[in-house]
């Protein structure tokens, strides 16, 4: 079993297996995820205020992108650094998410609160569905989500390359039905990725991973949640254009 999340793999937990001492738990990973989300909100409030006051937030946002990338790579290649690097990643991403959210809020008042509510709602629904056994990461389910996520990544890559050559795709970013349909599919795939993440985290706990892997698991789950939030934000913005 695996996850399409590039930083949350079951092989990582096997490689970090603890033979003695305290071991990670799924509940501990959930608590660490809540802590990281709190840090995202705290740092996001800073750039939110910068945008609201009309200040130049670009340097801080760039610092967040660069710092987040460094913290991400450090966490992936050195999982035992996760208790430090994961919170740093959350703080850096908060700077980016805060600026993005504030800009979207100026364009579409009320959109951010709706996006946050929907993201948390999807998280709770996916967690409940997984715990109750309604959705499980079976081999067929996993293959389907992996293929869909790979297709979305390829789609984004092609779009970026086209933009580099001056080819615009307005039909994918406006408020048309095609654009909204694509966003709905992407949001659905991002939500289903949470099921794979839950499964990998549960397996990590069963395999006896050390306690610091709770931070790594929370970091991996945060990556999916931020992706889900951004896609919901995009979907709501498209609906506002209609």
Per residue in 141-200, pLDDT (tens digit) is 999 999 999 999 998 888 888 888 888 776 677 778 888 999 999 999 999 999 999 998
Stretch 111-122: mean pLDDT: 95
Per-residue confidence at 209, pLDDT binned at 50, 70, 90? confident
pLDDT of 4 above 90: no
* Residue 118 falls inside a structural domain: yes
In this structure, is residue 4 part of a structural domain?
no
Query: Would 3 be classed as within a structural domain?
Result: no
> How many structural domains is the chain composed of?
1
- The verdict on residue 198 lying in a domain is yes
For residue 1, being part of any structural domain is answered with no
Dist. CA 221–CA 30, nearest whole Å: 9
CA distances from 240 to 100, 102, 113, 175, 237 (A): 17, 16, 14, 8, 5
Q: For residue 2, is it within any domain? A: no
CB 231 within 8 A of CB 18: no
The domain of 228 spans 10-241
Confidence (pTM): 0.88
Angle (CA) 131-189-173 rounded to 5° is 145
Q: Is residue 5 part of a domain?
A: no
In this predicted structure, what is the pLDDT of residue 22? Answer: 76
Residue 69 lies in a domain: yes
Q: Report in angstroms the alpha-carbon separations of 105 from 38, 48, 111.
A: 20, 10, 6
């Amino acid at each position: 079993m695996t996850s399409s999340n590039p930083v949350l793999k079951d092989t990582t937990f096997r490689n970090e297996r603890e033979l003695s001492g305290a071991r990670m738990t799924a509940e501990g990973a959930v608590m660490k995820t809540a802590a990281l989300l709190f840090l995202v909100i705290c740092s996001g409030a800073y750039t939110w205020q910068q945008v609201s006051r009309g200040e130049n937030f670009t340097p801080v946002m760039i610092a967040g992108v660069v710092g987040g990338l460094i913290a991400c790579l450090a966490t992936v290649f050195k999982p035992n650094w996760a208790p430090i690097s994961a919170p740093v990643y959350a703080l850096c991403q908060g700077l980016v998410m805060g600026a993005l959210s504030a800009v979207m809020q100026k364009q579409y008042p009320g959109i951010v609160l709706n996006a946050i509510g929907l993201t948390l709602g999807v998280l709770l629904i996916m967690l409940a569905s997984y715990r109750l056994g309604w959705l499980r990461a079976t081999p067929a389910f996993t293959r389907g989500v992996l293929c869909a996520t790979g297709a979305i990544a390829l789609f984004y890559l092609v779009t970026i390359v086209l933009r580099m050559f001056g080819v615009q795709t307005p039909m994918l970013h406006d408020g048309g039905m095609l654009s909204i349909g694509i966003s709905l599919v992407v949001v659905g795939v991002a939500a289903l990725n949470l099921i794979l993440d839950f499964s990998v985290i549960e397996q990590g706990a069963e395999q006896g991973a050390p306690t610091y892997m709770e931070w790594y698991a929370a970091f991996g789950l945060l990556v999916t949640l931020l992706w889900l939030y951004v896609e919901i934000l995009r979907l709501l913005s498209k609906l506002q254009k209609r």
